[in-house]
Structure 1
Amino acid sequence: MTLDHSPSPNDVAGIYEGIGPVYRTVWGPNIHYGYWENDADDSSIEEATDRLTDLMISGLAAQAGQRVLDIGCGIGHPALRLISACDVNVVGITVSHDQVAQATERAAAAGLADRATFQFADAMDMPFPDGSFDAAWAFESMWHMPDRRHVLAETARVLRPGGRLAIADVIERGPVSPEGRVVLDHICENYAVRSLGTVDEYQKALAANGFVDVEIRDISDNVSRTLAVMADAVETVRDKLADLVGEEQATSLIDFMRLSAVTPESGYLFLTAVRA
C-alpha cells in the first residue's frame, strides 16, 4: 500500500511523542527491534536491541574522530552507544523537538555532550554542506520518509566520497497475499508510514545516488520475534495506551503487533554501502 498522502513531519513526531513514552516504560530507552540469533536464543529485550544496534555499529565501521550523521536519531540511545564504541562525533537529526531535548539531556548525563549534538531537521532537506560527514546511518527511520530515494540523494550529498552508510528498515517482502496486505496496510495507516520499501527499491535507489559496494541482508527471521514480545509487554500497560488512543485502537495495535510477527510479508533488512 502507498498512502494517498505522505505523513508530515508532525505526523511522525506525533507517533513518537504520543505512544512512544508508553512503549518506553516496558521496552526501555532503545525503542528498536531486537536481534535474536535463533529460536533457542533467550536473550532479554535489552540484550536483543543492543545486539541489533551493535550490528549497525559494526556495519558502519566508523573510525575514531570521524563525524557521523544519525538520520532520525530518536532519543539518542544508539548514537551514544556508537560514540562509546567507536570514539566518533555524532550529529543526530529528528523532526521531534521533544526527541531533540531528550537526546541532548541523555548525552549530557552520559558525559558525551561534546561528542553528540542533536537538532531539529528534516532528512528531506538536510541543513548541512556537501561532504560534511564521514559516515551516516538511518536506524528504522527510512520507513517514515515521504521519498526514500530523495533522502538517499541528500545523504549522498552530505557524505564525503568513501563515506559509509548503514540502514536498518522495516520492508515489504513479496509476493503479498491478501492477508499480508491487510497487515502492511495497517502498518502504513497507524505508524506514519507512506509505504514500505523493498530490497529491489533500495538496490535501485542506492545505485542511482552513487552508492557502491552495497550489501543487503534480509534479517527478518532474526528480528520478527520483536513484535510478539512487544505486544506482550505493551499489554501490561494497556490502560495507559488506551488513555492515549482509545480502547479500540489500543486493542488493534496490540493485536496487529502479534499478527505482524508471523506475517512473512512484513520483513526487515540491514544494509551497508559506500558513497562513490
Structure 2
Amino acid sequence: MTIDQSPAHHAGVRNVYDGFGRVYRSVWGPNIHYGYWEDDADDSSVEVATDRLTDLMISGLAAQPGQRVLDIGCGIGHPARRLVRTAGVHVVGISISHLQVQQANEDAAAAGLGDKATFQFADAMDLPFPDASFDAAWAFESMWHMPDRGRVLAETARVLRPGGRLVVADVVQREPITPDGQVVIDHIKANYGVTTLGTIDEYEKNLAAAGYVDVEIRDITDNVIRTLLLMADAFETVRDKLADLVGGEQADSLIDFVRRFGSIPESGYIYVTAVRA
C-alpha cells in the first residue's frame, strides 16, 4: 500500500479534478477554464470563448520557437498543446494530480506532440527544476489553488531566465467582501480546493517582491464572468451524474453556488503579464 505523504492541500485539489472534474469535462470540453467574450453582444460558443482566453495567454507569453515554457497547474494539457502548436515551443507541465499528468502525457503522445509537451507531478511551491531553466511560464487558473501565491511567484522567478516572461490568469477578490459574498466564497473555498482569493494589491506586492518588472495587471472580469452562469447551466444537464458521484444535495449545492459565484461583485478575474528582472 502506498501512503500519500503530500501536503494536505494537495488532497482537496485532487478531489476536485479527479472527482467531479471528470463530469465537468464531459459537458464543458477539454478547456477546463473560463471563456473570454469580447462584449455582451458576443454570442461565441464556450469552445470558441475558452480557446480565445488560451490565445490571450499565448499572446502575453510571446514565446519564441524552441523556447522552454513551464505550465504551472497544467490540468490535462489542452492549453499546453495549443501553445506548442501555435508557438513551436517545448512545454513542461506540472500538476499535483497523478491522473491529470497521465492523461496529459497520453493526449500529447496521441497528438504527436509527446516530444514537445511533457507533464509531471510537482508542487508549484517547491519546483524540482534548476535555476534559470525556463524561458517563460504561465499559471492558467491554478493560482487560486495555491496556499501561498507569493511563494509560487518567487519559485517561478527562480526557474525563469532573466528576461523570461510570466503570464497569469487568476480568479480574485474584486470588491470588499459582503456578508452574502462571504457565504459564497466560504463555500467555494471549502469545496473546490481553493485556499484564498487574492487581490490586485497583493499581486502587485508579491510580483515586486519576487523581482518581476514591467508588470501589467488587467481586470477582465466583465469579459469572463459569463462563464460561471453557463457552467451552472451545463452542470444542470448532468445533475444526475453529479448526484451519483457526490450525492444529490451536494450536486444541487454545486450548481447553486457556481451560479451565485458568478453574480456576486466580489468575484473577479485578472490577466497578468510580467518579466523576470
- Secondary structure at 2:245 match in 1: helix
Residue 10 of structure 1: how far off its partner (Å): 2.1
What's the secondary structure of 1:90's corresponding residue? strand
Deviates more, 1:110-119 or 1:178-187: 178-187
How many residues matched?
271
Q: Deviations over 1:179-198 (max 9, x none)?
A: 11211111111111111110
Give 1:143's aligned residue.
Answer: 144
Residues 1-276 of structure 1 mapped to structure 2, 5 A cutoff: 8-276=9-277
CA distance in 1, matches of 2:101, 2:195: 24
The alignment partner of 1:270 has SS state of strand
Identity of aligned residues (%): 73
Shift of 1:258: 1.2
Q: Which runs of 4+ in 1 moved over 2 A?
A: none
Equivalent residues of 1:68, 1:133 under 8 A apart:
yes
User: Which secondary structure state, in structure 1, belongs to the residue aligned with residue 271 of structure 2?
Assistant: strand
Contact 1:93 1:122 in 2 (8 A): yes
Deviation at 1:178, TM superposition (A): 1.3
Q: Provide the rounded CA distance (Å) in 1 between the counterparts of 2:268 and 2:70.
A: 25
Paired amino acid for 2:85: S
8 Å CA contact 1:7–1:144 kept in 2: the answer is: no
Output one character per residue of 1:144-166: Cα deviation in whole Å (capped at 9) or x when no partner: 00111011110000000000000
In the alignment, residue 133 of structure 1 is paired with which amino acid? F
5+ unaligned residues in a row in structure 2: which ranges?
1-6
* Residue identity in the other structure for 2:101: V
Please report how far the alpha carbon of residue 264 of structure 1 lies from its aligned counterpart in structure 2 after TM superposition: 1.3
Q: Retained in 2: the 8 A contact 1:7–1:146?
A: no
Structure 1 residue matching 2:63: 3-state secondary structure? coil
Cα distance, 1:259 vs structure 2: 1.1
Stretch of structure 1 that moved more, 257-266 or 123-132: 257-266
TM-score by length of 2: 0.96
Instruction: For residue 91 of structure 1, give the secondary structure of its aligned residue in structure 2.
Output: strand
Matched AA of 2:138: W
> What code does the residue aligned with 1:74 have?
G
Unaligned runs of 5+ in 1: 1-5
Give the CA RMSD over aligned residues: 0.9
Amino acid of the structure 2 residue aligned with 1:67: R
Q: Given that residues 32 and 49 in structure 1 are in contact (C-alpha distance below 8 angstroms), is that contact kept between their aligned partners in structure 2?
A: yes
Separation in 1 of the partners of 2:22 and 2:66?
Answer: 33
Q: Residues 114-153 of structure 1: CA distance to partner in whole angstroms, max 9, x if unpaired?
A: 1011000011111000000000000000000011101111
